[in-house]
A and B are shown apart, each in its own frame.
Chain A
Amino acid sequence: MAAITAVSALAAALAAQDAAIFGYGVAGAHLTGSRQDAAEQDWVAHNKARDTLTAMISQLGGQPVAAQAFYQLPFPVQDATSAMALAAYLEDGVTRAYLGIVAVSNQRLRDFGAVAMQSSAGRAAYWRGSTQAFPGLDP
């Protein structure tokens, strides 16, 4: 099995962040009150993470890939319930992507990936209403 390079792992996380940013824009439109506030906070957090990952990729000599104009949603989002399900789905994707960074050999990147996983797993638990035994890993 080929070793996971730092740049490729960071690029995968960047792609997940870009998808989350797009998806939260859709989800937030179907939420109100405190849930909408939470969606906005999470959207801001993902934007910051995207900027961080872009800088890290550039520092390592990689070329950050720009976000797509449109992302295919996994299911229709028509109400608050489906909006929250989408948010949880997006966070699960972000968690999986950061798990990939944990596999690289650089210790600082492993720590970075693990801490980021805790944040995204926490957001996923909020939107899902329950915790998972192995965030980021296949069930």
Chain B
Amino acid sequence: MPDIVPRRRLLLASATTLPLLLATAGCRSSDAFTGPDPLAGRPRPAPDVVTLQAVIASEQNLIELYRTALSGDSAAAGPAQELKPLLAQHEQHLTQLRARLIQPPGTASAPASASPASASPSVSPASASPASVSPSGSASAAAPAPVTLARLRAAEGASAAGLVRRLATVEPALAQLFASIAACDATHVTALGG
């Protein structure tokens, strides 16, 4: 009567011998499949996604600047009736930009926007770093700088210039959205007295 190898032992043998066979043949697990190694972790986002996330963060920075300017604590920026329409347009920008961002389920949300005090006229991915968000309620935290018209103008101008710099790195439809938003930002510079 032939020995019947228990099913469990047979399956265990297969599980241990397959990697051994692959290793001795100089193969990695990914060589048995087409595409990237499934055990190597989440693939990096495409360049367009990274750019779009940075632009979204920049837009959020602008919105926070306007909200601070419109708040009771910062009356240096001028009448609310002039600023509210501009803020509303930036909120429309943010809506459209977010609509272009397709994130797989379970991925982290876009980086948190920088605090208004840390927003500088120079727009760069570094300005969207979550590390620049200052803790709220801290007794030692410095009060945010007042948001003046000049500061808003500088931020709008920097946003427009930053968007134009990114045009070459994105696909045509996204480039057109960036250019349109940049044109709006440029009109805001004039509307703010520039």
Chain A residues proximal to chain B, CB less than 8 Å: 4, 95, 99, 102-105, 107, 110-111, 113-115, 117-118, 120-122, 125-126, 130-137
Contacts and interface: CB of A to CB of B under 8 A. Distances in A.
A129 to B, nearest CB: 10
Interface string B178-190: 1111111011101
Please classify how large the interface on chain B is, using the bins under 10, 10 to 19, 20 to 34, 35 or more.
20 to 34
A114 B187 contact: no
B183 A121 contact: yes
Contact of B92 (A107, A113, A126, A133): A133
Contact of B183 (A104, A107, A111, A117): A117
A110 B175 CA distance: 8
Contact of A95 (B163, B167, B183): B183
Interface of B: 85-86, 88-89, 92-93, 96, 160, 163-164, 167-168, 172-173, 175-184, 186-188, 190-191
B164 A111 contact: yes
Q: Which secondary structure dominates where chain A touches chain B?
A: helix
B93 A133 contact: yes
A113 B179 contact: yes
Contacts of A118: 160, 182-183, 186-187
Contacts of B92: 133-134
A96 B93 CA distance: 18
Q: Which secondary structure dominates where chain B touches chain A?
A: helix
A114 B190 contact: no
Contacts of B167: 102, 107, 110-111, 114
Given A102-B176, A132-B187, 6 more contacts: A102-B179, A107-B167, A110-B168, A121-B187, A130-B85, A137-B176
A55 to B, nearest CB: 22
Given A114-B167, A118-B186, A131-B89, A99 B180 contact: yes
A114 B172 contact: no
A105 B171 CA distance: 9
A121 B181 CA distance: 11
